[in-house]
Amino acid sequence: MVIWNLGVVPSFLIGVATVLVLRGAASYIKRALVLRDSMADEADAETRTLETNRYIFWRRAFGLLILITLYLGVMGMVFGLGPLAAMLALPALLGQLLFTVAQLGALMLANFALFFGPFLLFGKMGRQTISPDDANYDVKMEDVRGQASAVSEMRRILRLIEQGRNYVKAGGKRERGVLLVGPPGTGKTMLAKAIASSLRMPIIITSGSAFSGMFMGMDMVSVFMMVRAARKKAKRWGGCAIFIDEFDALGNRRSGMGGAMPGMGGMMGQSQLGLNTLLVLMDGVDNPSAIARTLRRFVNITLDGLFMPRQIGMNGSSIKLRMPHLRAPRYNLFFMGATNRPSVLDEAVTRPGRFGRQITFRMPTREDRKDIAALYFNKQKHDSSLDTPQRRDEFARISEGYSPAMIEQALSLALMYAFEDGRAEFTWHDLREAMGNIESGLVQPVQYTEREKVAVARHEVGHAVAMRHFQPDHAPVRLSIKMRADGSLGRLSSQAMEEEFSVFRSQMAGRLRTILGAIASERVFYGENSDGVYGDLMQATNITTHMVGLVGMGPENLTEDESRRAMRYGEYLISVAEMRAGNEMTPGHVAPTLANPKARATVAQVIGCAYIDCWRLMKANQEAIDQAAEALIAQGELVGDEITGLLDSVGLRAYSAADAYPPELPKLPRRDEEEPEAPRRAQTA
């Protein structure tokens, strides 16, 4: 039937439009009024989606129709324009409206940039983005010495990241984050530089403090911008690594989870929103791009709203007429964090799937130190005498406790001293001085009196003689009477000839006697001691209470009379200062041990016995100690084999049963009249 004599085609189009509108109205009413809570069965997801899309389409269509009707009515009533003229004026009106909205948006963006732009710029300045082959830190993976297991593990992880497609296809999961844990200076940051120089994908290097900001939410924005930049790099290069140094500044435990309170709160940027944002972004909960999602929704909703079939059959196959589901992007991002305080990190950070995998960096062993020293010796000019195996072995021996960074600093300082002296190569003397400054600070320009100089020398030689006799498994490292920045008048440092990870009672007893050798030496020469033994007595008390109170190392094997005499000496030597060590949170072991009368008696007996042994040794070698002290005064400081040679030259001997005992001490006054029972003679199997 032809409508109003419009012809067949217009009539057909009007009929189709009428049917669509009526069906659309029916779908809208069905969705809005009849099936508001449940559009279809739970299992019929396709029907549910279809009904929802039709409802959305026709709601928008009817809404647009209402807006057009209102627009035409207003234009006709206010401006006297007909429907055709009003529609012709609509593009110009919409253009002006869009221009006004764009102006407002630009003003808002400018205000945001003026206020927050500097902070965002500072945050961007705190990170460095390096593309492959752009970085050249002069550091290779082979240069990270002394951490063979850590480097090997990191190489394995990097191979999976760069070439792990087959691993992923087999069902494996790439590492998302790894935590580098270890003391300062052990090579964590150096490993990151080596990775940046050799990795075949971009890397972003930043620090935990770079995410802090003055205002609340700046840390969150900084983290989001960093990850956004990494994703762009990952799209281009197939992956991107992110290294966060001093990670504990960002991943610190949040309040309410055993962490510290957030201080002044949000206005000062301590909201920890940055950590929350990082955790969410690391989980990879990502969406396709907004443009792709908008286009898919527009196409599918329009086709469903116009009642187009979802698929059509053709030659026994079906062709889908809808855009398929979009896949969430999978960014190959790899996070690395470095910290020397893993205990303060939030539990959500260290769980598997985030930074759950830890690579531990340890302090280097003697062989490691030799290997590390070889690396830096090859880079810096030095005297050829330092290339002998004996010198390298001695350097590795006397540098116990040095991290790779400290070894590098020692050689650099030695070269600086050589240049200051007008030489292009450093010598063993320069290296000794550099190591002394690293360990104890610069030598202080003070002059001892002659009496004080002799007393300090005898004090330190007393340590050395006791170590030589009671710790045969130790070798001296440094013997000095130079005052340094730490305030000590002199020092003796030593180390075990073989590095061990457990200590037996005989070894701890030997260490105790080495400590007490100085006070014994002073009392042999002067009949009294100076206040320079303050630190020695603190160490002695700490070691002995550790032996008795913590690890069950009982009293010395003495007779009852010998035990009582040792107790009287020991009571004088227990350090009250060490008894006060600790606090309410970490009270320590000294005070609880000494508070127990029996344990205190054992402590006094052990210290007293050690002192008696030291006094007898010093008395037997009084002349030899005096000779060694004179040589030490002449040199000021001796290192390594020089100390061994000096002790060999003065003719030390062990004390015998015929050697004298120290003079008797008066009985200590006690609150109770009875003296505590002496520890019984130890039973031997």
Residue with tokens 């059509």: 312
User: Of 158-167, 224-233, 587-596, where does the model show the most confidence?
Assistant: 224-233
Q: Are 249 and 212 in contact (CB under 8 A)?
A: yes
pTM of the model: 0.70
Across all residues in the chain, what is the average pLDDT?
82
Percentage of the chain beyond pLDDT 70 is 86
Cα separations (Å) of 226 from 176, 207, 284, 328?
Answer: 16, 12, 15, 20
> pLDDT band for position 572 (50/70/90)?
confident
Listed ranges 294-308, 585-599, 622-636; the one with the highest mean pLDDT: 622-636
Q: Lowest mean pLDDT of 118-127, 343-352, 575-584, name the range.
A: 575-584
Is residue 566 a contact partner of residue 602, using CB atoms and an 8 Å limit? Answer: no
- Domains of the chain (ranges plus CATH)? 8-81 (no CATH), 126-289+329-360 (3.40.50.300), 366-438 (1.10.8.60), 445-649 (1.20.58.760)
Write out pLDDT tens, residues 485-503: 777 788 888 888 877 788 8
Residues 374 and 379: their CA atoms lie apart, in Å, by 9
**What is the distance between the alpha carbons of residues 373 and 378, in angstroms, rounded to a whole number?**
8
**Paired strand residues for 334:** 241
Residue 320: which pLDDT band, with cuts at 50, 70 and 90?
confident
Q: What confidence category does residue 516 fall into, taking pLDDT thresholds of 50, 70 and 90?
A: very high
Non-local CB neighbours of 606 within 8 Å, separated by 6+ positions = 509, 512, 544, 547, 548, 555, 556, 566, 570
| CA angle 624–630–632, rounded 5-degree value | 100
Cα–Cα distances (Å) from 616 to 463, 536, 567, 660, in that order, read: 14, 18, 17, 6
Structure confidence by residue, pLDDT tens digits, 535-545: 899 999 999 99
